[in-house]
Amino acid sequence: MIRILTLLLIVNCLFSIDASSQTLHLNIKGKDSSENRVIDSIKYLKEHKDYNSVINEVTNFKKTLNNIGYIESNISPIKKLNDSSLILNIGLNRKFDLINIYYNDSLIPKKIIQFVTNKITDTYFTIPIQGTEKALNTLNLKLSELGDPFSTLKLSDISIKNDNKINATLIVSDKLLIRHINKIIIKGYEKFPKSYLKYYIKIKEGDVFNLSEIKNQIKTLNELPFANQIKDPEILFSKDSTTIYLFINKTKNNNFDGFIGFGTNEETNKIEFSGYLNLELNNNLNYGESFRIIYKSDENEQKTFNVNLNLPYLFGTPLGTELELGLLKRDSSFTTVNQNVKLFYQINSRNKVFAGIRSVQSNDLLDSIYSNPLIKDYSTLFYNVRYQYIKRQKESVLFITNSLLDFQVETGSRDYENNSTKQYQYYIDAFHIFNLNPKNSIYLRVNSNGLFSDNYLENELIYFGGINSLRGFEENSLSATLYGLINTEYRYMFNNSIYVHTIIDAAYFENKITDQKEKLYGFGFGFGLVTKAGLLKFNFANGKTENQSFKFSNSQVHLSLTAFF
């Protein structure tokens, strides 16, 4: 008897579980076919696992009807047709298309409401009723940007105006309280230069609190070469203060760059070597400063030495200064000293403008017996303006800078032997990396320099050629009064640490002293490899003139290594 009762209990439990897990089918019907078309267009959920799910779906359906304008819809009680089928009868009634929302300008400024509609008066604004929720979300966001992150907007006193409009009043749920930034605390890199907060990121104590704007401004940290953002900022609200926590990491940005170049001398058929050293120190004093030294020695017995010091945000102002000293010695012919002083203003994270003065002093080193009539002692004073745009891509180890535009024009007067000549000069350097996909990219660079004068001296010519200008030619082997060149590379990345590329360069230059106009070309290939010592680059290029045939002996090989520390 006990076994029979136990068996019956088990069977009853199984049937109960099956019944409770039965799927319920919900069908919503309107008064006529036109209402049914509207109901079917909403695409509600028809299959439900239990009755609570049905109730939730009906509630959401009613909310959807209100949002699209059927605020007078009537819902009848849910009817049970059988154990698994339910029916809900709804009368949609009138559909309202527009809503007039009355507001108080002292609580919600008119300038904010203009973000959601242009149909606005001094007392109310009109929007489509379907866009009510989106409009309220937008207005709440704008209130937050004005420094009130806690107040929320809602509608009250909803009433029917006529056949297709309703009225409502916009109110603020909490008292409008504008918050300001009282304190900024930096975590991770506590010695981060504070001037960059104020002028570069453009966040400072006393500003109106705007979370979305703060997040956007903090992203500009990734444009800095010496710092980056660890995570999103965090906000601490107290009763009467707002504190922002910024999480910043200091990155190593010092680098040492050098290369050895070698090629065959066309006259002696001997291999000649050239060299280049570039030391750049950045933000070692936690001021945002940069210090750069360049030394170059090439096959033409030309030696170049440059020192550059960049000091941003002097004395806590938005202005910075750039100081530069350049020394050039051309075999035993002449020396030239360039001194350059500029003030600059950082417009934003990518744009910068300069204004400055440049002094040039050149001396003839030749004895009177071997003197060159085109080499003279002279001095020039230039006044210049400059614009610079830099866009970085710090996620790439191989190609840190994605775009560059550096343009300068200057005017001045050259004096020698009691003669004064008006001169003009321009310089432009621009490149962009076109990223086709993660592995393939195209590098395109345009570089040009020109000096305009009534007459010219040999020791004021512009020198170019080599790994940093026209590849396939000896370093600074070409002299011109004006030149323009294009560098192109097709790059293929095997991974994040190695790539190969083509070299196709073209140039045009003029030399008014020799009355020379010529087109030049460079072709070759190269690769880059990230090693433990740094970024190793290899270039093999062959240079030729427009009317010159290809000669393998004209090829140039360049090796460079950039070490970061």
Distance (Å, rounded) from C-alpha 497 to C-alpha 535? 9
**In the prediction, which pLDDT does 213 show?**
79
**In the prediction, which pLDDT does 4 show?**
43
Where is pLDDT greater, at 52 or 510? 510
* Strand segments (E) across 219-375: 227-237, 242-250, 255-264, 271-282, 290-297, 302-311, 319-330, 334-346, 351-364
In this predicted structure, which of 127-136, 139-148, 186-195, 515-524 has the lowest mean pLDDT? 139-148
Distances (CA, A) of 143 to 169, 174, 217: 17, 12, 19
Distance (Å, rounded) from C-alpha 469 to C-alpha 446? 10
**In the prediction, which pLDDT does 479 show?**
93
| Mean pLDDT on 28-33 | 86
Distance (Å, rounded) from C-alpha 488 to C-alpha 89? 71
Task: Note the CATH number of domain 183-250.
Answer: 3.10.20
Confidence of residue 476 (pLDDT cuts 50, 70, 90): confident
Angle (CA) 240-241-246 rounded to 5° is 165
Running DSSP on this structure, what letter comes out for residue 208? B
Taking the CB of residue 367, how many other CB atoms lie within 10 A of it?
Answer: 8
Where is pLDDT greater, at 152 or 19? 152
In this predicted structure, which of 5-19, 259-273, 352-366, 483-497 has the lowest mean pLDDT? 5-19
| Mean pLDDT on 393-417 | 91
- CA nearest to 481, candidates 517, 522, 523, 507: 517
Confidence check: pLDDT of 7 > 50: no
Distances (CA, A) of 527 to 252, 391, 392, 498, 556: 24, 23, 21, 7, 15
In this predicted structure, which of 13-17, 190-194, 323-327, 365-369 has the lowest mean pLDDT? 13-17
Q: How many residues does the chain have?
A: 565
Confidence of residue 33 (pLDDT cuts 50, 70, 90): confident
Q: Pseudo-torsion of CA 484, 303, 290, 310, nearest 10°?
A: -70
Where is pLDDT greater, at 226 or 265? 226
Where is pLDDT greater, at 484 or 564? 484
| Mean pLDDT on 187-205 | 91
**In the prediction, which pLDDT does 158 show?**
80
Distance (Å, rounded) from C-alpha 290 to C-alpha 263? 34
Map tokens 């603020």 to a residue.
172
Domain 98-172 indexed as CATH 3.10.20.310: yes
Query: 24-91 adopts what CATH topology?
Result: Ubiquitin-like (UB roll) (3.10.20)
In single-letter form, the type of residue at position 287 comes to Y
Confidence of residue 431 (pLDDT cuts 50, 70, 90): very high
- CA nearest to 445, candidates 403, 388, 498: 403
| Mean pLDDT on 411-430 | 95
In the structure encoding, which two tokens stand for residue 213, read together?
A: 């704007």
**In the prediction, which pLDDT does 14 show?**
37
Confidence of residue 64 (pLDDT cuts 50, 70, 90): confident
Burial of 11 (0-12, 13-18, 19+ CB in 10 A): exposed
Mean residue pLDDT of the chain comes to 85
Where is pLDDT greater, at 405 or 552? 405
- CA nearest to 102, candidates 163, 164, 149, 166: 166
**In the prediction, which pLDDT does 362 show?**
94
Q: What predicted TM-score, i.e. pTM, was given to this entire model?
A: 0.73
Q: How far is CA 214 from the centre of its chain?
A: 16
pLDDT digits (tens, 9 = 90+) for 83-139: 788 888 888 888 888 888 888 887 788 888 888 888 888 888 888 888 888 888 888
What are the residue boundaries of the structural domains of the chain, listed by start?
Answer: 24-91, 98-172, 183-250, 255-564
Percentage of the chain exceeding pLDDT 90: 39
**In the prediction, which pLDDT does 192 show?**
94
Distance (Å, rounded) from C-alpha 331 to C-alpha 298? 10
Q: How far is CA 493 from the centre of its chain?
A: 22
Query: 255-564 adopts what CATH topology?
Result: Porin (2.40.160)
Confidence of residue 9 (pLDDT cuts 50, 70, 90): very low
Distance (Å, rounded) from C-alpha 46 to C-alpha 57? 9
Secondary structure of residue 219 in the 3-state scheme: helix
- Identical fold between 24-91 and 183-250: yes
